[in-house]
Amino acid sequence: MRWIDLLRMSSSNLRRRKLRSILTILGVVIGTASIVVMISLGLGMQQSLYREIEQSGGMTAVTVTGKDVGSQMYYYSDSGSDQEASKYVTDETIEKLSKLEHVKSASPVLLMNSIIMTGKYYGNIQLTGMTPEALKEQNISLVEGGTLPKADSSELELVFGNLATENLMEKGTDKGYWETGVRPDVDVMKAQMFLVLDSDAYYNSLNNTGGAAISTENSSSASTGGTTPTKAPKKYVVHASGRVTGDENTYNAHSYNVYCDITTLKNMLKKEYAGRAIPGQPTTKSGKPYKFFAYTNAMVQVDDIDNVDVVASEIQNLGYKVTTNAEYVKSMQKQFAMIQAVLGGIGAVSLFVAAIGIMNTMMMSIYERTKEIGVIKVLGCSLKNIKQMFLLEAAFIGFIGGVVGNLLSFLMSFIINILTGNGSAMGLDGNISYIPPWLVIASMAFAVLIGMVAGYFPALRAMKLSPLAAIRNE
């Protein structure tokens, strides 16, 4: 019997009992859609991770952290490493790192807790000082007309994340977005803003003048280097040179950051704290600052991903903590693989239930077509052709169910992404559900395979039927 004849007979048998075929196919549709949507959730989180890594220097980036001096500067630490840094990250460190083999560039990063004021709003922000070259490597997408901070600017230029203003509070009520759910009405590109670098002096001046003390995790720390200042600190005029693209429902790795030029920030800090230690800078036992300037960490770019581990090991031997994006991605990939396996397993249960439905349908079909099978055998049809006919019927059910199931999964994925604000409601940079082409093909193949496996035993039963007994069957 020719393949075209087998296909014609298989499709004809499915059309003969439409309702039963539709119900069986519906089971495959639900199973396929469940698997695809469940796995797509894990893939969506994985894609979001890759985008954030790309925005943080890519897979060849290495973060170098020195000794932790705490206070108003924030330091990264590698909780998964037992090694403790024995040296500070200084200009001398940057120079050494730049000369290492396979290192393309090395640049300092300075994180500084400050206070920003504009109109009726104020709030704590963490300034991220970086060199112009390092800022370019961050792949920051700015709104039209925006630029990265200039190194030779007389004023401190800031680049605000699209969600950075959510940390501002209203003067008088000391409430902001996180308490009221209402975002501050501030256009950073047009607003007049003032920056206070000495946050301790700012809060102390409020207390000394009878003003309401504003709660902050850093307000309790005393200024380093002597007596507590009683007068209000200097307010610096600053402006935004750019804002990260995205609206209030868009999240990315830069959404809550505020970037500035590191040289300008460092010069301002030296003037602000002339004659006393800058908060976060190492001091002697007597409280006097050292001559060198310690950075929060350093960003190192390696020439090739294959050399990342070698460079990281070499930097560790110099006495610094090291974290790499590649190391982070490997760790996260293991977690995502577990998540996808669990979610895929939950969806697979539906498809296996559908397989039982296919097997039941095929067995019923054999009982109803016993006489037909006997006639085919008497006419000389081979056992192989009979098995192929029933396997084709089961494969048809799996194929049709797989096609409709994938269409349904795309619709469900679209609805999920809309309801979650394209991932922003979950804190993700991009869609929470992502269906790549390979997942569609794999789910189709799996649905067809499940159908054929479910139809295999009924096909064997059809092969074993006695022709004479089948013809006599009523």
Question: Does 171 score more than 70 pLDDT?
Answer: yes
- Considering the chain, what percentage of its residues have pLDDT values greater than 70? 78
Which residue's structure tokens are 């704290």?
A: 273
Picking from 179-188, 195-204, 226-235, 289-298, which range would have the lowest pLDDT averaged per residue?
226-235
pLDDT digits (tens, 9 = 90+) for 139-158: 888 999 899 998 877 789 99
Residues in contact with 463: Cβ distance below 8 Å, sequence separation at least 6, in sequence order: 383, 386, 387
Give the pLDDT of residue 211.
Answer: 47
**Mean pLDDT value across residues 390-403:** 85
Tokens standing for residue 40: 């797509």
Predicted confidence band of residue 92 (pLDDT cuts 50, 70, 90): very high
pTM tops 0.95, yes or no: no
Q: Which residue has the higher pLDDT, 17 or 223?
A: 17
Least confident stretch, 205-214, 304-313, 326-335? 205-214
More confident residue, 218 or 347: 347
* pLDDT at residue 64 tops 70: yes
Judged by average pLDDT, the poorest of 46-50, 67-71, 259-263, 420-424 is: 67-71
Question: Considering only 42-56, 229-243, 375-389, which range has the smallest mean pLDDT?
Answer: 375-389
Half-sphere exposure of 7 (CA within 13 A, CB side): 3
Q: Work out whether strand 121-130 and strand 321-324 pair parallel, antiparallel, or are unpaired.
A: unpaired
Q: Which pLDDT does position 464 carry in this prediction?
A: 67
Give the pLDDT band (50/70/90) at residue 94: very high
Does the structure show a pLDDT above 70 at 389?
Answer: yes
Q: Residue 430 corresponds to which amino acid?
A: G
Q: Each residue of 112-127: pLDDT tens digit?
A: 889 999 989 999 888 9
Q: How far is CA 42 from CA 35, 117, 311, 381, 431, in A?
A: 11, 41, 32, 49, 11
CB 440 within 8 A of CB 406: yes
Question: How many whole angstroms separate alpha carbon 109 and alpha carbon 133?
Answer: 12
Place of tokens 């196919």: 25
The Cα angle at residue 433 between residues 428 and 438, in degrees rounded to 5: 125
- Helix ranges restricted to H, 369-382: 370-378
> If DSSP codes are grouped into helix, strand and coil, which group holds residue 221?
coil
